[in-house]
Amino acid sequence: MRSKKTKFIFVTGGVVSSLGKGLASASIGALLENRGLDITLIKLDPYINVDPGTMSPFQHGEVFVTEDGGETDMDLGHYERFTHARMSRLNNFTSGRIYNAVITKERRGEYLGKTVQVIPHITDEIKASIRQASQDVDVVIVEVGGTVGDIESLPFLEAIRQMRYDVGSQNAVYIHLTLLPYIGAAGEVKTKPTQHSVMKLREIGIQPDFLLCRTDREISRELKDKIAMFCNVDNGNVFTSPDVRSIYELPLELHRQGLDERLAEVLNIWSRAPHLEKWETIVRKIYEPARGEVTVAIVGKYVNLTESYKSLNESLLHGGIANDVRVKLRFVDSQDVETQGPEAMLDGVDAVLVPGGFGVRGTEGKIAAVRYARENKLPFFGICLGLQMAVVEFSRTVLGLKGANSLEFDEHTPHPVVTLMESQVKVQDKGGTMRLGSYACALKAGTVAQKLYAQDNIQERHRHRYEVNNAYRGRLQEAGLVISGHNPELNLVEMIELSDHPYFVGCQFHPEFKSKPFAPHPLFSGFIGAALAQRDSSHGTAPTPPVRA
pLDDT in tens, 499-528: 999 999 999 999 999 999 999 999 999 999
- Judged against a pLDDT cut of 60, whether residue 417 lies above it is answered with yes
Put residue 73 in one of left, alpha, beta given phi > 0 → left and psi -120 to 50 → alpha: beta
Query: Is 17 annotated as belonging to a binding site?
Result: yes
* One-character DSSP codes across 271-283: -PPP--HHHHHHH
Query: Is 143 annotated as belonging to a binding site?
Result: yes
* One-character DSSP codes across 226-260: HHHHHHT--GGGEEEEE--SSGGGHHHHHHHHTHH
**What pLDDT, on the 0 to 100 scale, is given for residue 429?**
55
Hey, which residues does 296 pair with through a beta bridge?
Answer: 329, 351
> In the annotation, is 255 catalytic?
no
**What pLDDT, on the 0 to 100 scale, is given for residue 16?**
87
Query: Is 154 annotated as belonging to a binding site?
Result: no
- Cα 73 from chain centroid? 8
Q: What angle do CA 541, 544, 549 make, to 5 degrees?
A: 170
Query: Is 357 annotated as belonging to a binding site?
Result: yes
The average pLDDT across 424-451 equals: 80
Distance CA 500, CA 398 (A): 13
**What pLDDT, on the 0 to 100 scale, is given for residue 549?**
38
Query: Is 291 annotated as belonging to a binding site?
Result: no
pLDDT above 90: percentage of residues in the chain: 81
The average pLDDT across 349-378 equals: 93
CB 254 within 8 A of CB 20: no
**What pLDDT, on the 0 to 100 scale, is given for residue 426?**
59
Q: What angle do CA 350, 352, 353 make, to 5 degrees?
A: 140
Which residues touch 277 (CB under 8 Å, ≥6 apart)?
none
- Judged against a pLDDT cut of 70, whether residue 261 lies above it is answered with yes
CB 467 within 8 A of CB 508: yes
Query: Is 401 annotated as belonging to a binding site?
Result: no
Query: Is 123 annotated as belonging to a binding site?
Result: no
Task: List, for residues 29-72, the tens digit of each pLDDT value.
Answer: 999 999 999 999 999 999 998 877 777 665 667 889 999 999 99
CB 88 within 8 A of CB 68: yes
Please give the residue that has the higher pLDDT: either 243 or 51: 243
Task: List, for residues 162-213, the tens digit of each pLDDT value.
Answer: 999 999 999 999 999 999 999 988 889 999 999 999 999 999 999 999 999 9
Catalytic residue among 384, 415, 441, 494: 384
Query: Is 90 annotated as belonging to a binding site?
Result: no
> In the annotation, is 512 catalytic?
yes
Q: How confident is the model at residue 23 (pLDDT cuts 50, 70, 90)?
A: very high
> In the annotation, is 384 catalytic?
yes
Question: Please, how many CA atoms are within 13 Å of residue 197, restricted to the half-sphere of its CB?
Answer: 25
Domains of the chain, start order: 7-281 (3.40.50.300), 289-537 (3.40.50.880)
Q: How confident is the model at residue 2 (pLDDT cuts 50, 70, 90)?
A: very low
Look at residues 129, 127, 145, 140 and name the one whose alpha carbon lies nearest to residue 83.
Answer: 140
**What pLDDT, on the 0 to 100 scale, is given for residue 547?**
44
Quickly list H helices, 376-480. 385-397, 448-453, 473-478
Task: List, for residues 322-355, the tens digit of each pLDDT value.
Answer: 999 999 999 999 999 999 999 999 999 999 999 9
Q: How confident is the model at residue 428 (pLDDT cuts 50, 70, 90)?
A: low
Indicate yes or no: pTM above 0.75.
Answer: yes
- Mean pLDDT across the chain, nearest whole number? 91
Task: List, for residues 439-489, the tens digit of each pLDDT value.
Answer: 999 999 999 999 999 999 999 999 988 999 999 999 999 999 999 999 999
Query: Is 18 annotated as belonging to a binding site?
Result: yes
Hey, which residues does 383 pair with through a beta bridge?
Answer: 507
Query: Is 151 annotated as belonging to a binding site?
Result: yes
Hey, which residues does 271 pair with through a beta bridge?
Answer: none
Query: Is 249 annotated as belonging to a binding site?
Result: no
Q: How confident is the model at residue 236 (pLDDT cuts 50, 70, 90)?
A: very high
φ/ψ of residue 158, rounded to 5: -65, -40
* Least confident piece of the model among 395-409, 419-433, 458-472: 419-433
Catalytic residue among 78, 501, 512, 521: 512
φ/ψ of residue 482, rounded to 5: -90, 125
Catalytic residue among 255, 415, 462, 510: 510
Query: Is 19 annotated as belonging to a binding site?
Result: yes
Query: Is 408 annotated as belonging to a binding site?
Result: yes
The average pLDDT across 237-245 equals: 94
Query: Is 191 annotated as belonging to a binding site?
Result: yes
Look at residues 284, 133, 146 and name the one whose alpha carbon lies nearest to residue 204.
Answer: 146
Query: Is 50 annotated as belonging to a binding site?
Result: no
Which SS3 state, helix, strand or coil, does residue 217 take?
coil
Look at residues 42, 53, 147 and name the one whose alpha carbon lies nearest to residue 96.
Answer: 53
**What pLDDT, on the 0 to 100 scale, is given for residue 109?**
92
Query: Is 77 annotated as belonging to a binding site?
Result: no
Secondary structure, 3-state, 9-37: EEEEECCCCCCCHHHHHHHHHHHHHCCCC
Which SS3 state, helix, strand or coil, does residue 327 take?
strand
Strands of the 416-420 sheet, one edge to the other:
405-406, 416-420, 466-468
Write the single-letter amino acid at 488: P
Q: What angle do CA 494, 525, 378 make, to 5 degrees?
A: 75
Q: What angle do CA 125, 131, 136 make, to 5 degrees?
A: 165
Please give the residue that has the higher pLDDT: either 348 or 422: 348
